[in-house]
């Protein structure tokens, strides 16, 4: 079946995001001080955020913010999980997570009364 052809599994567009505009900070003169040209792009499903205030153009900052959000680590993690869910590989991912979360693979620490990190600070209940 894998003949090199690709299948679109997930599509994320600007309509999937919330855009907030605000006044940028820093140098830029009167235009920057009086216009809401800086942009924050939030992909609500993943919680990923990208911001831009590089240019005086709100449209260009919107494009930059969307790209930064799409390249963010949080969005990339969400995308991998979403693709796994939609392609039926979610069970494989969940099984791998369950294996990794076995007690012998975890180390739990807490702070002692003296403020030092220690496994003994948690204790076995």
> Do 117 and 76 belong together in one domain?
no
pLDDT-derived band at 35 (thresholds 50, 70, 90) equals confident
pLDDT of amino acid 79: 92
Q: Is the pLDDT of residue 115 over 80?
A: no
Average confidence score pLDDT of the chain: 82
Residue 58 in domain = yes
Range of the domain at 102: 90-125
Examine the domain organization and report whether 66 and 104 are in the same domain: no
Q: With beta carbons less than 8 A apart as the criterion, state whether 78 and 70 touch.
A: no
Predicted model pTM: 0.65
Q: How far is CA 43 from CA 4, 35, 57, in A?
A: 30, 24, 21
pLDDT at 125 over 90: no
Rounded to 5 degrees, φ, ψ at 87 are -100, 5
* Number of domains forming the structure of the chain: 2
Which of 10, 12, 14 is CA-nearest to residue 62?
14
Predicted local distance difference test score (pLDDT) of residue 33 = 60
Verify that 67 and 103 share a domain, yes or no: no
Asked if 61 and 105 sit in the same domain, the reply is no
More confident residue, 28 or 15: 15
Region 71-80: mean pLDDT is 94
- Same domain as 105, residue 45: no
What secondary structure letter does DSSP report for 41? Answer: E
Q: Is 88 helix (H, G, I), strand (E, B) or coil?
A: coil
């Amino acid at each position: 079946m894998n003949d090199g052809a690709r299948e679109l599994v997930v599509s994320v567009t600007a309509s999937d995001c919330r855009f907030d505009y605000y006044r940028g900070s820093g140098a830029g003169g009167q235009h920057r001080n009086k216009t809401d040209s800086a942009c924050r792009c939030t992909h609500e499903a993943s919680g990923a955020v990208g911001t831009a205030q590089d240019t005086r153009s709100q449209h260009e900052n919107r494009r930059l913010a969307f790209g930064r959000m799409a390249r963010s680590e949080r969005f990339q993690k969400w995308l991998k999980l979403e693709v796994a869910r939609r392609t039926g590989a979610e069970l494989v991912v969940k099984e791998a997570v369950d294996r990794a979360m076995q007690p012998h693979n975890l180390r739990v620490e807490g702070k002692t009364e003296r403020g030092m990190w220690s496994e003994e600070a948690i204790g076995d209940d």
